[in-house]
């Protein structure tokens, strides 16, 4: 790719250059669509083996205060493909938080790097990093939001159904955490029909629901909150989505209450088959669908269940598009870096 081709590819993103990507709340539907188009284009180049080193010589810092497979690998591979050099800071061996404040860390890293990814706890941390860094900061997951995941989910839905607008997505399980919140925000912006299918105590926060309801009204989408586990069939859901019942950073003790409260909302093959025609299953992963993990086995020994949020049968079925979704993490994260660096 020569200099002219690079600048032609990035020209539509002039307004995003230098901008952080902290939550989808900060991005318009048009900007989200443009990022998806860029991701699709970069995916095409990658599949054809065509180099796209759009940010040759730049450096990016990847801060992970929680563990990761997909997000870390996506940022590292995407940075390398763009010609940028990634530096990984693990949860234990930097000074962050223990000996150095977030504001100081941001000002130090901002002098050395062209962009910073942060995965960790409260959203206020990534917001503070962004305020002080002077370079774009990308949210690689906080307790409240997981915006890069939603871009991957939307690229996958668009590849599968050819569109986002009008698609009905039912989110089953703990809808008040990062995935439920972010899917609700994204669906509301893109004119999709979002349903949180969960006990009332697990619905997203009322203020965020109201903000998203206003967005959905503008976009032609809709939001539904229901405790009825059969809702995906009633709504003719095209996408049934779930996530782990206990998220990173939550205490072990909550497993018992989550298993009690959320078991009726487990995704099963009959549920998928009874939903909309061609209904697909999505999950941000990692998923507890069998006994091949330490946690899965420990839960089995303690509670006698051989899967949690999704049965192995549903996870392994032809309706499951979770690995397409996982691959798209890399292409969409690359688009975010390409557009904002």
Binding site for ligand NVA (CB under 6 A): 141, 177-179, 243-244, 247-248, 284
Residue 319 is a catalytic residue: no
**Catalytic annotation, pick one of 243, 279, 289, 319:** 243
Rounded CA Rg of the chain: 20
Residue 90 is a catalytic residue: no
Residues 211 and 255: their CA atoms lie apart, in Å, by 30
Residue 95 is a catalytic residue: no
Of 87 and 285, CB closest to ligand CP: 285
Helix runs in the chain, H state only: 3-10, 29-47, 70-81, 102-112, 123-133, 147-161, 178-190, 206-219, 231-235, 254-262, 269-274, 294-303, 312-315, 322-340
Residue where the block lists tokens 């000002």: 107
Q: How far is the CB of 97 from ligand CP (least distance, A)?
A: 20
**Catalytic annotation, pick one of 149, 153, 193, 238:** 149
**Catalytic annotation, pick one of 146, 158, 266, 283:** 146
Q: Which does 243 bind (CB under 5 to 8 A by kind): ligand CP, ligand NVA, none?
A: ligand NVA
Residue 187 is a catalytic residue: no
Q: Which does 259 bind (CB under 5 to 8 A by kind): ligand NVA, ligand CP, none?
A: none
Of 40 and 285, CB closest to ligand CP: 285
Of 96 and 284, CB closest to ligand NVA: 284
Closest CA to 72 of 303, 333, 313: 333
Interface with ligand CP by CB under 6 A: which residues? 68-71, 141, 149, 284-285
Residue 193 is a catalytic residue: no
Residues 328 and 341: their CA atoms lie apart, in Å, by 20
> CB atoms < 10 A from the CB of 51, how many?
11
Nearest residue to ligand NVA, by Cβ distance, number only: 247
Q: How far is the CB of 69 from ligand CP (least distance, A)?
A: 4
Of 159 and 250, CB closest to ligand NVA: 250
Q: Which residues contact 260 (CB under 8 A, 6 or more apart)?
A: none
Of 54 and 151, CB closest to ligand CP: 151
Residue 114 is a catalytic residue: no
Residues 256 and 275: their CA atoms lie apart, in Å, by 29
Contact between residue 100 and residue 76 where contact means Cβ atoms under 8 Å apart: no
Q: Which does 69 bind (CB under 5 to 8 A by kind): ligand NVA, ligand CP, none?
A: ligand CP
**Residues with a known catalytic role:** 119, 146, 149, 243, 284, 329
């Amino acid at each position: 790719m020569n200099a002219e081709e690079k600048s032609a590819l990035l020209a539509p993103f002039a307004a995003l250059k230098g901008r952080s990507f902290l939550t989808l709340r900060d991005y318009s539907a048009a900007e989200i669509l443009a990022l998806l188009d860029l991701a699709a284009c970069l995916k095409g180049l990658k599949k054809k083996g065509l180099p796209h080193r759009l940010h040759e010589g730049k450096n990016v810092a990847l801060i992970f205060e929680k563990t990761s497979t997909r997000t870390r690998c996506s940022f590292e591979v995407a940075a390398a493909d763009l010609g940028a050099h990634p530096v990984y800071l693990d949860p234990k061996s930097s000074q962050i938080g223990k000996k150095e404040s977030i504001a100081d860390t941001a000002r130090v890293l901002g002098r050395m790097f062209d962009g910073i990814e942060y995965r960790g706890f409260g959203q206020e941390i990534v917001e503070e990093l962004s305020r002080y860094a002077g370079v774009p900061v990308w949210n690689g997951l906080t307790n409240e939001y997981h915006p890069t995941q939603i871009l991957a989910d939307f690229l996958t839905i668009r590849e599968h159904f050819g569109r986002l607008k009008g698609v009905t997505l039912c989110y089953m399980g703990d809808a008040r955490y990062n995935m439920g919140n972010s899917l609700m925000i994204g669906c509301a912006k893109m004119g999709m029909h979002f349903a949180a299918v969960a006990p009332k105590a697990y619905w997203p926060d009322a203020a965020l629901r109201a903000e998203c309801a206003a967005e959905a009204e503008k976009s032609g989408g809709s939001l539904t909150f229901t405790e009825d586990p059969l809702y995906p069939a009633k709504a003719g859901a095209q996408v049934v989505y779930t996530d782990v019942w206990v998220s990173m950073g939550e205490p072990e003790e909550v497993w018992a209450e989550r298993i009690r409260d959320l078991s009726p909302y487990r995704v099963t093959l009959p549920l998928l088959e009874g939903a909309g025609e061609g209904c697909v299953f999505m999950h941000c992963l990692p998923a507890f669908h069998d006994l091949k993990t330490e946690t899965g086995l420990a839960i089995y020994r303690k509670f006698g269940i051989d899967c949690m949020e999704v049965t192995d049968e549903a996870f392994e079925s032809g309706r499951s598009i979770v690995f397409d979704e996982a691959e798209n993490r890399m292409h969409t994260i690359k688009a975010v870096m390409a557009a904002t660096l």
